[in-house]
Structure 1
């Protein structure tokens, strides 16, 4: 029911268009059904000698122009009336199609906008776990399934109701016995449509989810195509794609078999029913129990009656598809938004940070950070070192409230972090992520993303601090150079430096480098840190790195292992004591010495 409530909400502003489309269906149906009645009148009462059985107002019109004799002499008048009825039907079918299409496209637009907006405000944790390909499929294919149902089948429900109700009333008024024969298979077809709907719904869900998995494999492959080529993994990726493609084909084939079976069965039943009407109708017409015109009307109406009933199977099938797609969209909409409270504090952020017994876990009873305690003064540079999985990135993600800690306390300038508005803290904590993401724009536009109103001099200054300005000027188009999707036209170090420039263009009081200097050489690394220090000495800076030369100049070095702080101090203090920091320093020093010896030998 939640899905239908959402659908009704999305239809807001388009309901009159649907009412108009359904009314057009009613008028088109009336014009369609009037045609066989004109044929019956022509055969029985104009060409034949049976008395006219028409509404009084139509008989008055015919009598006013000269009665039956005029029609006998001018049969073209009957042809003109059929032409007018056909034109009237065409006009209303046009309006039905136009209004339902406009309404459905507008509704699809509303759905896309709400889903996209909702995705923008979901938590960081949700997007870390979500499969991008599946989300894309929900935002495109699933929404289009809803649009198609609203554009076609939704209005056809009204057409089926109009058609069945009017045809049955006319047929009963002409001949009850023949109507009962004509209606005999309608319950069978209707029951078959219900059974078909139940089976097709599950089959479509399986096919739709398989398409989502296929889309995800395709998205991952295209995004990581350079990795695939670098490791010669083309055949592996082809096999993986084939597995998902075969799965999608098999499930879709089952869906197609269900469709084919239903249509074949319903075709057979409908043709048998039409044959029964012809046999009984012809027999009774030969005996004089019904007129030839009545037989023509019944055979024509029989097709009109069976088609919408048979079509109910298709409508229900597409309704089942729409329900599946609607539920998949609803799953996104029902995901809780990241909790934000505008009433939370928005204090001036200077950069004093105090961690006290901080505890955090992604999964229950599997802590990532345990009893983490340390203090940082405004303007200090904090280096963080530790093995993979030690909790380094998690620590700095807590600073930006990408996640909220479950225990302990984090205070910034004496204010509890959980009491600070999330949007506000993120405007004051600049995080340069380990994997830089650049948009398919030029370099200047990428740097200005964090500060739309930045002037060119600010862009150039940020690029100079990030040691990328001179490199950009060497490009043929300079700052107007397009970086391509995800920045593929730049090297890893160039991408990282553009991402650094994008972040530092804002004067964040707290700046975080989440292993984002790993792809630049040591000299560039030192230049960036030196430029940052000279630019703004009161910026509190966190640097995550495995390179001791990057960490050595920090005011305080935190060594994490297993989510706990195992060592802290300056570089000189830590190398003078046994521990993880000293071991890593010894390893890196020995490697550097070996390289120096090898270079001298060469």
Structure 2
């Protein structure tokens, strides 16, 4: 019931169009059921000798056409009337199809836009855990399932109901006993359709999930195509996809078997019902209980009635699929949107940051950061060193409010971070991630992404700071060079430097390099850091790195181990301690010395 209400909710703004489609199918159905009555009257009263009834729509129509005598001599008038009714019926069927399609397409568009908008506003934590392939499948295949149901089967429900109502009323008015004979199989077919609905809904749930799983494998493979090629894992990936595909094929076959059972058994019941009407009707006609015209009407109506009822199985099957699709889409829409605190503070951000006893955990009982305290002044450079999993990136994510700290306090220019509008603070913090993402656009468009109104001079300036300007000019099309999807046409260092330029163009007062200088060589690393120092309106800079040469010139170096600060100070101060920083420096220094010795020997 909940899912049906959700479908009704999705139809908002298009309900009147759907009503127009249902009214059109109602009129078309009414005109359609008049044809057999005209044929009955022609057989019984125009060609035959059965007197016309005193009242009724058909009697009125006969009188308007000139009466029985005129029609006996001009049967073409009846044929013309049937043609005109058929044309008018066709017009209303066209209107039904057009209105239903327009409404369905508009509804699907609304669902897609609502889904996309909602996904854009879900917390970072949700996207970290969600499977991209599954989300794509829900936004495409599931929406298409709903569109097909609303565009075709939804209106057909109205057709079946109208057909059942009109034909039942007419048949009862003609002959009650014959009507009861004609309706024997109807409840059986309907019950069979309900049972089929329950089975097909469960089957489609598994089918849809297997399709999502297969989409995830495909998406991962295409995204990681470099890794697959680099490790020659094509055979493994093919086997993995074939396994998912085999499961999907098995579930598809199960659905096909269910459909085959339904159509074959429902066909069998329908054929039995029609045979029963013919046998009983022929016998009663021979005995004079009903007229030949009545027999023709009942056999015609039987075919018209059984088809939509039998079709209810398909309608119910598609409804089952649509309800499953609605459930999967609603699972996304039910996820709470990220609270942006749009009514929060929007203070002037200069870059003064203070951590006081900050603790954070992703899972309860498993703290990632423990009692972190330090202070950064505007324009300072802070370096962060620590083993993998020590909480370096998490600390940065807390500043950008991708996650909210559970204990302690973070103040930015004297304002508690939790009271500052998320959108506002994120505009003021530029983060260059370890794994940069570039869009399938030109290099210039990628750099301008964070500030679309920036001039070419601004683009060139930040590209120079990121030490990528000259490299770009060497490309055939310069800044207009198209970047492949995810930046595959650029090297790792080039992608990283374009990402740095993209972040710097925002002129954020706080800039974070999350191990993002690791993909560039030491010389380029030094050039970028020197350019940042000489930049006007120098930003407060956080540099996460394992390279001591990158960290050594920072105003303050923070060493994190197991979520705690174990050392803090400048390079000179930390070198006097027997801690992690000194050990890393000694290891890297010895490796560099060894490399120089080997190089000297080779010369």
Q: Compute the TM-score of the two structures, normalised by the length of structure 1.
A: 0.98
What does 1:417-456 correspond to in 2, within 5 Å? 417-456=417-456
What does 1:516-595 correspond to in 2, within 5 Å? 516-536=516-536, 538-595=538-595
Q: C-alpha displacement at 1:118, in angstroms?
A: 0.8
Q: C-alpha displacement at 1:376, in angstroms?
A: 1.4
| 1:486 and 2:486 are equivalent in the alignment | yes
CA 1:567–1:77: 2 relative to 1, 3 Å: same
Q: C-alpha displacement at 1:58, in angstroms?
A: 4.8
SS of residue in 1 equivalent to 2:335: coil
Equivalence for 1:601: 601
Q: C-alpha displacement at 1:524, in angstroms?
A: 0.5
Equivalence for 1:511: 511
SS of residue in 1 equivalent to 2:360: strand
Counterpart contact for 2:28–2:90, Cα < 8 Å: yes
| 1:275 and 2:275 are equivalent in the alignment | yes
SS of residue in 1 equivalent to 2:52: coil
Q: C-alpha displacement at 1:70, in angstroms?
A: 2.5
Equivalence for 1:263: 263
Deviations 1:340-375 (A, max 9, x none): 222221111111111111100001101110111111
What does 1:116-515 correspond to in 2, within 5 Å? 116-515=116-515
Which one is further off, 339-348 or 292-301?
339-348
Distance in 2, matches of 1:477 and 1:346, equals 41
The count of aligned residue pairs is 602
Deviations 1:157-213 (A, max 9, x none): 111110001111111111222211110111111111111111111111111111111
Q: C-alpha displacement at 1:12, in angstroms?
A: 2.5
Q: C-alpha displacement at 1:536, in angstroms?
A: 3.2
Distance in 2, matches of 1:546 and 1:506, equals 26
Q: C-alpha displacement at 1:13, in angstroms?
A: 2.2
SS of residue in 2 equivalent to 1:587: helix
SS of residue in 1 equivalent to 2:12: coil
Deviations 1:206-264 (A, max 9, x none): 11111111111111111111111011111111111111111111112111211111111
Distance in 1, matches of 2:172 and 2:5, equals 39
Which one is further off, 434-443 or 286-295?
286-295
Distance in 2, matches of 1:367 and 1:258, equals 51
CA 1:2–1:287: 2 relative to 1, 3 Å: closer
SS of residue in 2 equivalent to 1:204: helix
Distance in 1, matches of 2:8 and 2:511, equals 46
Counterpart contact for 2:526–2:550, Cα < 8 Å: yes
Distance in 1, matches of 2:176 and 2:61, equals 29
Distance in 2, matches of 1:541 and 1:453, equals 24
| 1:48 and 2:48 are equivalent in the alignment | yes
Counterpart contact for 2:37–2:58, Cα < 8 Å: no
Q: C-alpha displacement at 1:106, in angstroms?
A: 0.7
Counterpart contact for 2:385–2:545, Cα < 8 Å: yes
Distance in 2, matches of 1:554 and 1:536, equals 18
Distance in 2, matches of 1:9 and 1:250, equals 34
Query: Aligned-residue CA RMSD in angstroms?
Result: 1.4
Distance in 2, matches of 1:275 and 1:583, equals 93
CA 1:5–1:295: 2 relative to 1, 3 Å: closer
Q: C-alpha displacement at 1:439, in angstroms?
A: 0.7
SS of residue in 2 equivalent to 1:13: coil
Q: C-alpha displacement at 1:63, in angstroms?
A: 4.4
Counterpart contact for 2:6–2:326, Cα < 8 Å: no
CA 1:285–1:525: 2 relative to 1, 3 Å: same
For structure 2, list consecutive stretches of 5 or more residues without a partner in the other structure: none
Q: C-alpha displacement at 1:573, in angstroms?
A: 2.0
Which one is further off, 359-368 or 172-181?
172-181
Counterpart contact for 2:352–2:378, Cα < 8 Å: yes
Distance in 2, matches of 1:410 and 1:66, equals 93
Q: C-alpha displacement at 1:55, in angstroms?
A: 3.8
Distance in 2, matches of 1:307 and 1:55, equals 30
Deviations 1:451-477 (A, max 9, x none): 011011001101110011101111111
Distance in 2, matches of 1:254 and 1:497, equals 52
Deviations 1:53-79 (A, max 9, x none): 374565455446553232222222221
SS of residue in 2 equivalent to 1:114: helix
SS of residue in 1 equivalent to 2:372: strand
Which one is further off, 480-489 or 13-22?
13-22
CA 1:482–1:398: 2 relative to 1, 3 Å: same
Distance in 2, matches of 1:365 and 1:348, equals 36
Counterpart contact for 2:381–2:554, Cα < 8 Å: yes
SS of residue in 2 equivalent to 1:523: helix
For structure 1, list consecutive stretches of 5 or more residues without a partner in the other structure: none
Deviations 1:514-549 (A, max 9, x none): 011111101101101110110036411000111111
Deviations 1:550-587 (A, max 9, x none): 11111111111111111111122222321211221122
Counterpart contact for 2:532–2:538, Cα < 8 Å: no
Counterpart contact for 2:400–2:425, Cα < 8 Å: yes
Counterpart contact for 2:118–2:333, Cα < 8 Å: yes
Counterpart contact for 2:38–2:58, Cα < 8 Å: no
Equivalence for 1:68: 68
